[in-house]
Amino acid sequence: MLFLSIAVAILAALVLVDLLLSAAIIRRLRETETKLVEMTTPPASELSLGAAMPEFVSSDGQVSSAELAGGPVMIGFFSAGCRHCPAQAEALADRAEEISRAGVRVVSFLAVGEGATDELAPALRKAGLLVTEGDPSAAMTTFQVQGTPAFLMFGGDGRLLGRGHELSEVFNSK
C-alpha cells in the first residue's frame, strides 16, 4: 500500500509540473503571436496622429480637402478583392446613422482595378459619399495608406485623431 501511495504522489507531482510547463508555453506563444501581429500589420496610414489632413482633390473631382474642412470627417479606404473589406463596409453601413448623429461626415474611397467586380459600392453608399478610383488609388497614396481596409478620423480642426484597419478602432460609441 505504501508503494502505491508513493507512486500516486509522484504521478501527481509530475502532472502538476506538466501543467505548469504547459501554461508557461501557452503564455509564451500568446506573447509571440502578439509580437508577430504587431510586426506584420502595417499601420492604417503613415500619417502620424495630430498630422494635418493632406491637400487633395479626388480623381473625379467629387471631394477635396477644402470641402471637408470645418467638421469631423472619417475617411475609409477599401479595395475590390480585399477579403476583410466587405465586413468593414457592412459595419460602416450599419453604423452610418450613429456616425451621422455624432456629426461626423463619412467619405469612402474604393479602389477598383481593371476586371475587378465592384461589390462594396452599395454598402459604402449607405454610409456617405463614395469615390471610386482605379487601382492604385491616388487618395491612398495621398493619405499614405498601406493596405485596406483603413479608416482615418480627422477632427474639426483637420488634424488626425485616429487611424485603424477596423471601424471600431476609430469610431467607438460613447
Q: How many domains does the chain have?
A: 2
Tens of pLDDT, residue by residue over 133-169, are: 887 778 888 999 988 899 999 999 999 999 999 999 8
85 plus 147 within the same structural domain: yes
115 plus 33 within the same structural domain: no
72 plus 150 within the same structural domain: yes
CA-derived radius of gyration, the chain: 24
Per the domain annotation, does 18 fall within a domain? yes
pLDDT of residue 38: 64
Query: What is the sign, positive or negative, of the torsion defined by CA atoms of 86, 87, 90, 91?
Result: negative
Closest residue by Cα to residue 163 from 48, 39, 68: 48
Structural domain containing residue 21? 1-40
Question: Which are the contacts of 103, defined by CB distance < 8 A and separation ≥ 6?
Answer: 71, 72
Tens of pLDDT, residue by residue over 109-137, are: 999 887 777 789 999 999 999 999 887 77
The structure's pTM equals: 0.74
36 plus 70 within the same structural domain: no
Per the domain annotation, does 164 fall within a domain? yes
Which CATH number goes with the domain that contains 111? 3.40.30.10
